[in-house]
Chains A and B, each alone.
Chain A
Amino acid sequence: MFLFAVLSSASPYLLAQHHLSGGFESNSVYYRDDRKTGAVVPENNLGSNNYFKLDYQYHKFSAGIQYEAYLPVLQGLPTALHGSDLVLKYASFQDSNFRVTAGDFYEQFSNGLIFRAYEERALGLNTAMEGIRASYSFGNGIRLKALAGRPREFMERAESVVKGASIQVDWTALLGLNRSSFTIEANYINRYVSYTGQAAIDPNVNAYSFGGNWVAGGFTLESEYAYKTNDPGAYNGQANKDGSALLLQAGYTASGFGSLLSFRRLEYMQFGTSRGIAGIGRDLNYLPALTRQYSYSLANLQPHNAMGNSEIGGQLDLHYRLKRGSWLGGRYGARVALNASTYYNLKGDVVGGYAFLDKGDTRYYQDINVDLEKKISPSFQLLLLYSNQVYNPIVIGKANTLYFSQVAVADLTWKVSAVRSFRFEMQHLWSNDYQKNWAAGMAEFAISPAWTCFVGDMYNYGDTDVHYYNGGCSYTMSRTRLALNYGRNREGVICAGGVCLYMPAYTGFNLSLISSF
């Protein structure tokens, strides 16, 4: 009541001089028994994740909090997320070229190969640092960052102290380049965990990375090389080996055309927030799977999970727009996209070491896909997708074998009127491996901008004969969205932002509320 009274009396002043913003997010599931999928119902049949965030700004000063309540945590997410607490708080001062933050903050160096502190609520992941961060820019040419603190591990703090620094030099600004831009970046991270035992364990793990970006006309070239000192742990077989990573990306773009070729090599690059532990919510760096991310359920049935200790591979993207009036483009034009990716282990072994550029015999993943999107008339838009995938369950700790599959998708949007539209999805997966054939369909009706309702089913008719039906509606009013779904969800791996988490099967009602101001 005291806080309410203070806010009430201060409200005219708040409106006049200060700025307050915030957000509230609640995801709750009421679980039901389902013998067909073997879903296990938790105590009280309920799971509920809730986030409340408040930010305050006054000129160059800002401060904020985040409160989280798990009542209890949704099934499948880390059980270390329990109870409720004011988990994040910060105060920050920002001038034109200087910024300092005390408290909790998020940060990333280059591509995240050695350091990324971030949040991904869908996976119950938050590795925000609690400490201090400062950055200073010398004009537009040189930017320095330094930080020190302790990473968050679920509702607690990691046992480590992390320190780091980064320098970015923008040669475009320093040399006054007009026709191209060139930046280089160097980063350093130290993780210290005190050790008083008898084994020869260094309490420090150091990681360095160097990289550069070059853009000239339609050409781009991005690179980063990272090196990490040894960090024996359960996640790398207690290997007392230094790690390294190389990321190269080259692209060319022109009007109506875009291309990108990526290459990445990883060796002992898993980097935990504490000694000997890494995984969801406990990674100090960010090693996402560099593959195509799908929004279609069957194409996303068996996603790749990057193998941070031994992986080499690459990805190609091509996008082309067929002009209006051309033979293939027709009256409204069309888009064609091709994507291909493949990943293997590194040649070699733990004892003899790994080769730098040679691939081994274990294929982790491959995907070759093409899609065509075409507006047929002012009312109809069609997307056709074909994907040919090879998946190895070794990436989630299972047997070293290969699952081959082919997926086809047709997605049709029908705009009935200015505000009413239907969308239909039809999908099929052909496979002789694991659960064999699947079929899926979905119909969605929307009244713009507020209402959307859908029904769908994903059916495994090749093996289990289980229907994964789903249906629901959402209502959006400005910055508030309320959604209620009911359905059956399969056991499997879900991925968000390139990080994957194994989720158990569940059936139930899902209520989601998101609002911000």
Chain B
Amino acid sequence: MSIDVYRLGWLCVIWLFATMVSAQTRLPAIQVNNLKGETVNVGSLLDDGVPTVITFWTTVCKPCLQELDAFSEQWEDWQREVKFNIVAVSADDARSATKVRTFVAANEWPFTILLDQNQDFKRALNVSVIPHLFVIDTKGSVVYSRIGYNPGSEAKVLEILKGL
């Protein structure tokens, strides 16, 4: 066990170092599906030339649904202040992926919805827990990210977007 702890300690050192040298994250080259079943390249999410908010959610994650509701409620007001897109990436697997369409329709969310059924996109961005939100600037760099959601957290996202 002592060897295992020793190895793990070294990995933590490398991890800390990598955190320092890796100042920005870029979108990986991954393909996911939209609600029509069409394949979407993740890189094309930035084609509109405006900042993009990417958030990972599932139909069974209560804080995720709260976060998407909060964005939905303020969508029109925020669009008047700053132009941006929201991409809500569902990490629901085969158990609940077909429910995504019913959730989106019933809630009338005005966002782009993507399906990441085997979690390739989620894994590529090293998302361990959801909700996990990223703000991407027009150059494709992650300028803000956050794990979890508490009521009111969405205000920080607007502040970041207005600063871009």
Contacts and interface: CB of A to CB of B under 8 A. Distances in A.
Instruction: Report which residue of B21, B95, B96, B108 has the largest number of chain A beta carbons within 10 angstroms of its beta carbon.
Output: B95
Interface string A250-266: 01011111111010000
Contacts of B125: 21, 516
Contacts, number: 236
A478 interface: yes
Nearest to B1: A71
A284 to B, nearest CB: 14
Contacts of A118: 93, 118-119
B127 A418 contact: no
Interface string B87-121: 00000011110110111111110000000011110
A350 interface: no
Instruction: Report which residue of B14, B25, B102 has the largest number of chain A beta carbons within 10 angstroms of its beta carbon.
Output: B102
B17 A498 contact: no
Nearest to B60: A293
Interface string B1-24: 101110110011111011101110
Contacts of B93: 112, 118, 286, 288, 497-498
A447 B150 contact: yes
B163 interface: no
B4 A84 contact: yes
Interface string A331-369: 000010100000000000000000000000000000000
Nearest to A108: B118
B21 A446 contact: no
A320 interface: yes
A7 B15 CA distance: 11
Given A448-B150, A478-B146, A335 B61 contact: no
Given A71-B5, A452-B150, A481-B129, A111 B94 contact: yes
Given A4-B13, A476-B148, A418 B128 contact: no
B148 A67 contact: no
Given A449-B146, A497-B95, A517 B36 contact: no
B147 interface: yes
Interface residues of B, number: 68
Nearest to B36: A181
A60 B156 CA distance: 34
B37 A213 contact: yes
Chain A contact residues: helix, strand, loop or mixed: strand
Given A60-B29, A289-B95, A69 B7 contact: yes
B122 to A, nearest CB: 10
Contacts of B156: 448-449
A215 interface: yes
A170 B34 CA distance: 13
Interface in A285-343: 286, 288-290, 293-295, 317, 319-321, 335, 337
Interface of A: 3-4, 7-8, 11, 14-15, 19-25, 50, 52-55, 57, 60, 62, 67, 69-72, 83-84, 94, 106-108, 111-112, 116, 118-119, 121, 137, 140, 143, 170, 172-173, 181, 183, 213, 215, 218, 220, 222, 249, 251, 253-260, 262, 286, 288-290, 293-295, 317, 319-321, 335, 337, 413, 415, 417-421, 446-449, 452, 474, 476, 478-481, 497-498, 514-517
14 contacts: A3-B14, A7-B14, A71-B5, A116-B118, A259-B102, A260-B99, A286-B94, A288-B95, A295-B61, A295-B62, A420-B152, A448-B155, A479-B132, A479-B146
Which 7 pairs across A and B sit closest by C-beta, in order of nearness? A258-B102, A319-B106, A23-B126, A253-B105, A448-B152, A516-B126, A288-B95
